[in-house]
Amino acid sequence: MEANKVRESQIMKIHYLTGIAALVVVAVHIMMRLIMPYNLSLEYENVIANYHNMPYAFLLESMLVLIAIHGFNGLRIILLEMRQSKAWESGVTILTIAAMIAIIGYGTRTIIVANGLEMG
């Protein structure tokens, strides 16, 4: 039982750190969006140009990973509070990790595909 408390304590530290880090990268993202008018930033050419800007693409990937980890861990915590059993905990943990990996994989694929497109 003690090992489980230590593990949950470490998971909560990760949850707090990803939340703080997500706030930072989202703030940088919002500040970068203020460079041009909002409606122009949503035009196709400008969106694709963002993906070609490697530091900004890295920022987007960081946001994706941090928010996915933080969000799915939060969902996991909520679901674990609903029921208390070893099987439920294992199932919820496996499903939330699988969903998190799927979201990160799909988002990363989107960034890679968009980065490979030629502007024209």
Kindly report, residue by residue over 68-93, the tens digit of the pLDDT.
Answer: 999 999 999 999 999 989 999 999 99
Q: Which two tokens stand for residue 106?
A: 């799909």
pTM for this model (two decimals) = 0.85
CATH code for the domain of 27: 1.20.1300
Residue whose token pair is 């409606």 = 39
Range of the domain at 101: 2-116
Higher-pLDDT residue of 6, 89: 89
Rounded-to-integer distance, Cα 12 and Cα 74, Å: 9
pLDDT value of residue 119: 47
Question: Is the confidence at residue 110, as pLDDT, over 60?
Answer: yes
Domains: count for the chain: 1
Q: How far is CA 85 from CA 4, 12, 77, in A?
A: 13, 19, 13
Question: Across residues 94-116, what is the average pLDDT?
Answer: 94
Q: pLDDT per residue over 14-62, tens digit each?
A: 999 999 999 999 999 999 888 888 888 888 888 888 889 999 999 999 9
Residues 90 and 93: their CA atoms lie apart, in Å, by 5
pLDDT for residue 3 is more than 70: no
